[in-house]
Amino acid sequence: MIEKKIIIGTRGSQLALVQSRWVQQALQQACPDLHTELLTIQTQGDIILDTALSKIGDKGLFTREIENALLTRRIDLAVHSLKDLPTVSPSGLRIAAIPPRQDPADVLLSKNHLPLIRLPAAAVVLTSSLRRRAQLLHHRPDLQVLDIRGNVTTRIRKWQEGPAHALVMAAAGLNRIQMQNHITERLDPMQFLPACGQGALALQIRQDDTDLAALLQKLDDPAARAAVTAERTLLAALQGGCQIPIGAHARLENGKLSLKAMIADVCGVCYITAEDTGAIDQPEDLGKRLADQLIEQGAQKILDEIKNQ
């Protein structure tokens, strides 16, 4: 029997709260008698805002404290942006549902509404991601790519008030908080590959909470789960994180699961891509196979060089 009150753990940013309130409403629609409550939890990534993400470490930077709250039973359900969640769950926890995925693409916000290809020579572009940095420099080696930290609204404000020409962010975040009007250009996810799991939410619970798991199945989207499983399996196989520029985009095409991925050095000079298809019900096999293809094409050298820096 499910408890009548479910405490949902979330980060306190505007985006995190919008995401968690959506889950809260969906749960209450699925089970009208259920009472839910949000508990905001500050993570290390929310506290350390003056250092690039790649220099802090990437194991649960935005999720560890929330997962600890699950394990200690302060909360019953955690709502994460899936791209923030390490590929290995702590013992005792599991991802119970992946709701329908938002747009996985990155987007460009630019002054004078110029697309990426038309930005001025040596234009300054802001990003919080080495993956985005590498791809920006791969497509436009002349750009000056600078780091920016903060939540969605903070990054937009810093960009608007500063001298930088453009800012690259995830489409999903802007869509969810109704700030699409700032978007200049949607970057084609087949050409500018997103983070693994970008645009998807992960609903995480304790392993033994079978009643809540059954309820959350009503929120699970099999297509989204298959796509992000392929992407995250590839990421795990490459032992990647925010310190290594890795991107992937999985989608359902003609009854098959297609996956394209990239890995690059931080300057975007050495840039390797691979693409393959597989069965929808075997996303792990596809992710592992594509990771092997990247290794065969030279990805191991990139991984070794970055890890030895």
Question: Does the pLDDT of residue 55 top 70, yes or no?
Answer: no
Q: Is the dihedral of CA 126, 109, 173, 141 positive or negative?
A: negative
Closest CA to 197 of 137, 240, 165: 240
Question: Does the pLDDT of residue 104 top 90, yes or no?
Answer: yes
AA identity, residue 48: I
Closest CA to 106 of 153, 54, 158, 174: 174
Lowest mean pLDDT among 18-22, 149-153, 268-272, 290-294: 149-153
How is domain 231-307 classified at the architecture level of CATH?
Answer: 2-Layer Sandwich (3.30)
Which CATH number among 3.20.20.80, 3.30.1130.10, 3.40.190.10, 3.90.470.10 corresponds to the domain 106-187?
3.40.190.10
Average pLDDT over residues 204-231: 97
Average pLDDT over residues 228-244: 90
DSSP state of 128: S
Dig out the tokens for 164 from the structure. Answer: 């930088």
Question: Does the pLDDT of residue 52 top 90, yes or no?
Answer: no
Give the model's pLDDT for residue 44.
78
Contact 130, 241 (CB under 8 A): no
Average pLDDT, the chain: 93
Catalytic residues: 84
Sorted by sequence, the CB contacts under 8 Å of residue 124 that are 6+ apart come out as 143, 144, 145, 146, 163, 164, 165, 166
Average pLDDT over residues 179-196: 97
Which CATH number among 3.90.1150.10, 3.40.640.10, 3.40.190.10, 1.10.940.10 corresponds to the domain 5-99+200-220?
3.40.190.10
- Could you tell me where in the chain the CATH 3.30.160.40 domains are found? 231-307
Question: Does the pLDDT of residue 50 top 80, yes or no?
Answer: no
* Pairwise CA distance, residues 33 & 288, whole Å: 43
- Pairing assessment for the beta strands 201-206 and 256-264 based on DSSP bridges: unpaired
pLDDT band at 307 (very low <50, low <70, confident <90, very high): confident
